Amino acid sequence: MGHFNTQILLISCLLFTCYEAEKIKTRGLRQKDVDYIEKYSGCLQGPAGTPGRDGNPGANGIPGTPGLPGRDGVKGQKGECVSERFEEPWKPNYKQCAWNALNYGIDLGKITECTFTKQYADSALRVLFSGSLRLKCKNACCQRWYFTFNGAECTAPLPVESIIYLDQGSPELNSTINIHRTTSVEGLCEGVRKGLVDVAVWVGTCGDYPHGDASTGWNSVSRIIIEELPLSS
């Protein structure tokens, strides 16, 4: 019995000695870890890595359910029936009549004319007379040059005319003044019918003023220019 107790005591001492040795070994390993952490915990942080690529787009979601139908709008007013009108592009239409040295010395009457073909009913005629005009008289006098269309002066909007007034009653003037000047008579006339139009230049009086000695187209070129234009909208 005593021998058995001695064996148990011997085994217990061996086990205790091994346990203490293992504890000392474990404590030594833990101390090394602490020393390693304290030694290398102050290292600088390395540079950041390259950003990753964008991912692929996600799949489309499931379509939503249709919304409720909207309410009916307020009933509109009744429209007017308008017939559509197709117009052709405007084509230029003009004419020039010219004379070399008319030398027309009448005081009252038609000087010259130019026939023109008007293509549209709703258009205007632009007319121009350019030529030498002269008026002389011993006393005060006035002369009027104007256009006619098929024998009548323009009424839409007003006549196309030009006048020369000469006052020879002043002491500083005398009756020998004889000045020929190139002058223009120009204007627009609306309301002229479509087709052939006789455009003429006339010379006449200025109301109640006496006429003098008139001259048209002396020693120079005279011309009438006629152009058809669309009415402004």
For the chain, what is the mean pLDDT? 83
Q: What is the C-alpha separation between 44 and 144, in angstroms, rounded?
A: 110
pLDDT value of residue 78: 81
Tens-place pLDDT, residues 73-109: 888 888 776 555 556 789 999 999 999 999 999 999 9
Q: Whole domain around residue 4: which residue ranges?
A: 1-36
Same domain? For 21 and 127 the reply is no
Same domain? For 113 and 225 the reply is yes
Sorted by sequence, the CB contacts under 8 Å of residue 182 that are 6+ apart come out as: 130, 131, 132, 133, 220
User: 160 lies in a domain?
Assistant: yes
Beta-carbon count within 10 A of 135 CB = 24
Same domain? For 31 and 103 the reply is no
Same domain? For 212 and 98 the reply is yes
User: 182 lies in a domain?
Assistant: yes
Q: Half-sphere exposure (CA, 13 Å, Cβ side) for 139?
A: 3
Tens-place pLDDT, residues 117-129: 999 999 999 999 9
Tens-place pLDDT, residues 89-99: 899 999 999 99
Number of domains in the chain: 2
Q: What is the C-alpha separation between 218 and 79, in angstroms, rounded?
A: 64
User: 73 lies in a domain?
Assistant: no
User: 31 lies in a domain?
Assistant: yes
Same domain? For 133 and 217 the reply is yes
- CA nearest neighbour of 96 among 110, 111, 114, 112: 114
User: 66 lies in a domain?
Assistant: no
> Residue 133: left (phi > 0), alpha (psi -120 to 50), or beta?
beta
Same domain? For 103 and 1 the reply is no
Tens-place pLDDT, residues 144-160: 999 999 999 999 999 99
- pLDDT band for position 174 (cuts 50, 70, 90): low
Q: How far is the first Cα of the chain from the last one, in angstroms, to the nearest whole number?
A: 142
Pairing state between β 109-118 and 93-100: unpaired
User: 59 lies in a domain?
Assistant: no
- Looking at per-residue pLDDT, the higher value among 73 and 10 belongs to 73
User: 78 lies in a domain?
Assistant: no
pTM to 2 decimal places: 0.62
CATH code for the domain in which residue 169 is found: 2.60.120.1340
Same domain? For 26 and 111 the reply is no
For 23-34, the DSSP string reads HHHHHHHHHHHH
